[in-house]
Amino acid sequence: MTGCRSHADLIGPYVLDALEPDEMEAMRRHLASCTRCSAEVRSLSGLPALLDRARAEDEVETLSPGLEEEVLDRFVRERAKARPRRSRWPRLAIAAVAIAALIAAILVATLPGRGHTAYAHAELRSLPAGGSAAGTADVARVDAGTRVELRADHLPLRGGRAYELWCIRADGRWISGGSFHARADGTAAAELTAAVRPGEYHVVVITRRSAGGVRGDEVMRGKLTY
Amino acid sequence: MASSDATLVERLPFDRSGDELRELYRRYAPELFGFATSALGDRELAEEVVQDVFAQLWRHAENYDQRRASVRTWLYAIARNRIVDAHRRAAARPKRADDDDSLDTAAEMDDALDHAVLRWQVTAALARLSPAHREVIRLAHYGGLTMREIAERTGVPLGTVKSRTSYALRHLRLIFDEMEIEP
């Protein structure tokens, strides 16, 4: 319900005690005789106390963009490490499946060109903040999601050895693949697993590790070739 | 049609792609983060709490019983425990001379967390208003200005400031209703 036509606009200022003293008094007299306005004042009268629970300078904090992928990354890593559930299959069935899997593995291993699981590769080229850094990223599908195998050398060590790998989606969104540390000689070898779908990502970027929700400087990037 | 929260939690033990977890994260992480930031006053600690809440969620999804609590209530309960742990860790550290805001009892902690939830909810409700509506409420309620003073300060006609304030409060009331917050 809103107030009557003549006083509806004064209800909000009245509830917030923000009218001039003479207007406040006139509004009080009006409320004594107007059921519409008095009903609306009642419905809004609890708001000032509620507003007092916050502060004027409070703002809605936004989550770091990379946190979602950190959570997903932790999830897939934990799932990958988790022991398989105890099966209720009879032992005979398990043995039959194991033999079939062994035969299949032998067949796959002996087929030419089928042993390599990577489905995309990127040559990483240095950016201004990366000095003479160079590297490669091989992307493979694993049970837990997507694994990126990273090899890098000549990573700049001044400013810290913590780096972060990112995949950029076709819509321009950056997805963190996790962080890694360069060795003292500027080389790095890391396997990072992320819950991303194959084929969604076309660019791999290495940055300094994010801090306080701010992405670090870009060090290298490369285009994935599928 | 979007899956219900309870359905997503039931599927979590079999979630190999992370899709169910991602959906739950997008539904609840922002408000849990707001709650944790409000309670802890520290972004990094609040993000740790959010991470831990979702880790607990996927580890214990099999134990979830929707007859006992909604997913939202469950997640807030986990967040509360994590925030209490963070406060305890902070309390265990040697106190500085100016550190007079420690929480000594469980009741004080509960009060503080209830206050933090409400504070975040009010802040989030204000954030949903248009900038013009938010401005008049900030100037009138938090700034203590009258309608005339707001009109002079902002250059907006007095009649517009008054009607804008009334619309802003009505809209805010609707937002609180949607958030199931009783004034």
Residues B162 and B88 in one domain: no
Residues A219 and A124 in one domain: yes
| CB atoms A71 and B54 under 8 Å | yes
Q: Which residues of A touch B29 (CB under 8 A)?
A: 63, 67-68, 71
Give the CATH number for residue B34.
1.10.1740.10
* In-domain check, residue A147: yes
Residues A45 and A128 in one domain: no
Q: Among all residues of chain A, which has the CA nearest to that of B13?
A: A79
> In the structure, what pLDDT confidence band is assigned to residue A72 with cuts at 50, 70 and 90?
confident
* In-domain check, residue B24: yes
Residues B101 and B136 in one domain: no
B156 touches chain A (CB under 8 A): no
> What are the two backbone dihedrals, phi and then psi, of residue A163, each rounded to the nearest 5 degrees?
-125, 165
Q: Residue A144 pLDDT more than 70? A: no
Chain B nearest CA to A149, separation (Å): 19
| CB atoms A16 and B140 under 8 Å | yes
Q: Which domain covers residue B176, as residue numbers?
A: 128-183
SS3 A217: coil
Report whether B105 contacts B152 (CB < 8 A): no
Residues B52 and B104 in one domain: yes
* In-domain check, residue A73: no
Residues B14 and B66 in one domain: yes
* In-domain check, residue B115: no
Chain A nearest CA to B71, separation (Å): 18
Residues B96 and B28 in one domain: yes
Structure tokens at B48: 């740790």
Structure tokens at A100: 């079939």
Residues B40 and B70 in one domain: yes
* Structural domain count of chain A: 2
pLDDT value, residue A172: 75
* In-domain check, residue A176: yes
Q: Which domain covers residue A45, as residue numbers?
A: 8-51
* In-domain check, residue A145: yes
SS3 B24: helix
Contact residues, B window 72-131, toward A, CB-based 8 Å cutoff = 115, 118-119, 122-124, 126-127
Amino acid at A145: G
pLDDT value, residue A65: 73
B179 touches chain A (CB under 8 A): no
Q: Among all residues of chain B, which has the CA nearest to that of A212?
A: B44
Give the Cβ contact number of residue B124 at 10 Å: 19
* In-domain check, residue A2: no
Q: Which residues contact B147 (CB under 8 A, 6 or more apart)?
A: A13, A18, A19, A20, B140, B158, B161, B162, B165
SS3 A203: strand
* In-domain check, residue A56: no
Percent of chain A with pLDDT over 70: 75
| CB atoms B51 and A10 under 8 Å | no
Residue range B133-167, pLDDT digits in tens: 999 999 999 999 999 999 999 999 999 999 999 99
Q: Which residues contact A103 (CB under 8 A, 6 or more apart)?
A: none
Structure tokens at B11: 């599927």
Chain B nearest CA to A188, separation (Å): 27
SS3 A48: helix
B138 touches chain A (CB under 8 A): yes
Residues B40 and B86 in one domain: yes
Report whether A16 contacts B141 (CB < 8 A): yes
ipTM: 0.71
Structure tokens at A214: 């701010």
* Structural domain count of chain B: 2
Report whether B40 contacts A61 (CB < 8 A): no
pTM: 0.54
Give the CATH number for residue B171.
1.10.10.10
Residue range B51-92, pLDDT digits in tens: 999 999 999 999 888 888 888 889 988 998 898 888 777 766
Report whether A176 contacts A163 (CB < 8 A): no
* In-domain check, residue A202: yes
Give the Cβ contact number of residue B34 at 10 Å: 25
